[in-house]
Amino acid sequence: MKISRISLWSLGLTSHEAYHMSEGKTCDTVKTHILSLETDTGLKGWGEVCPIPHYLPAFADGVPSALTEMAPELLGQTPLGVDSLMHRLDNYLLGHSYAKSLVDMALWDLFGKAVDQPLYALLGGRMQADMPLYHSITCIAPDDMARIAREAYGTGIRQFQVKLGADQDWQADAERLIKVREAVGEGPLVYGDWNCGATKLQATRTGRAVANLDIMLEQPCKTLEDCAAVRQATGLPMKIDENAFDIASLVRAAELGVLDAVALKLSKFGGLSAMRRARDLTVHLGAEICAECTWGSDIVTAAALHFAASTPPNALLNTCDLSSYVGPRVAPDCPTRKNGRIAPPEGPGLGVSPDLDLLGSPLLELA
């Protein structure tokens, strides 16, 4: 079996409501890319990547160029041996992890279909029937954020990510955390996420204002060192996101004492192959994992769910059904949340089938 055709589509994903983060970053309509790797036997593997503008070193319009660059190293190769092929791509094109992530995802989908196994079986085996979800709350007025939290709580959600920093007001951020905590009561996990948009002083003032509550902080500052200073000053546990993107960054975060939890995102690490290695190290370091990606629809959600299902339960903090935040649904057969939890798709590979009528004509075809 050899890879014989590469097809790429581009599609706009629109958030069900405008999604606001720190420093003016927003998700309203964002471009996602969907990849098909087709073999000479007729099997197709699917991948997806959806960078958020101005968020990470990832550029949506760079995906077609990077894929064109990698195509000679993919065409004519067997997909049965994903690590080997990704090692080949890493040597051929340095960096560009986001563009490699959808290739890696499609290769794993092909591998699963070729051996007639669901992806979680190939990633280590299914360790839980379903996984807890968190609900991400856009950074708007504190009372409105509390309302969103109550509504999500009513659907069974027990973990809440509270976006902070949109107005650069540390007192408003403290009020957001306080009101969400009041809305969901004691017990559920509540954590405030600045997406690197706070100074040490701003984050410390917010953290100290809520230090009497059960609150976790997420990536307040742009560097691990500044995040460590905030953790030390507030005494609150810390989740790292943007600064966790490879093995070295995980080790450094652990050394600084800020790796209580970590977001392992497919597009940051370059796909499932690298994420498996990161997961093994994270488990060894004793941190808890949020298994997800930056943004996207059903294909990237399916990949994250398989990864989450094959992660040890005591090491999995939560996962995310990204496709529930946006429209249109790319693969109608992708699972949806139920009672605050979600299960991976069934069937070989990713177990989802994109709507080809929705995708339309490919943006790029290489053979």
Q: How many Cβ atoms are within 10 Å of 313's Cβ, its own excluded?
A: 11
265 in active site = yes
Q: Are 184 and 150 in contact (CB under 8 A)?
A: yes
Structure tokens at 333: 């057969």
Nearest to 30 by CA among 335, 306, 297: 297
Residues 6+ apart with CB under 8 A from 105: 35, 45, 46, 47, 48, 266, 271, 272, 299, 300, 303, 350
Nearest to 241 by CA among 306, 290, 199: 290
- Buried b vs exposed e over 74-91: b needs ≥16 C-beta within 10 Å? beebebeebeebbeebbe
Active-site option among 25, 44, 100, 163: 163
The residues annotated with a catalytic role in the active site are 163, 265
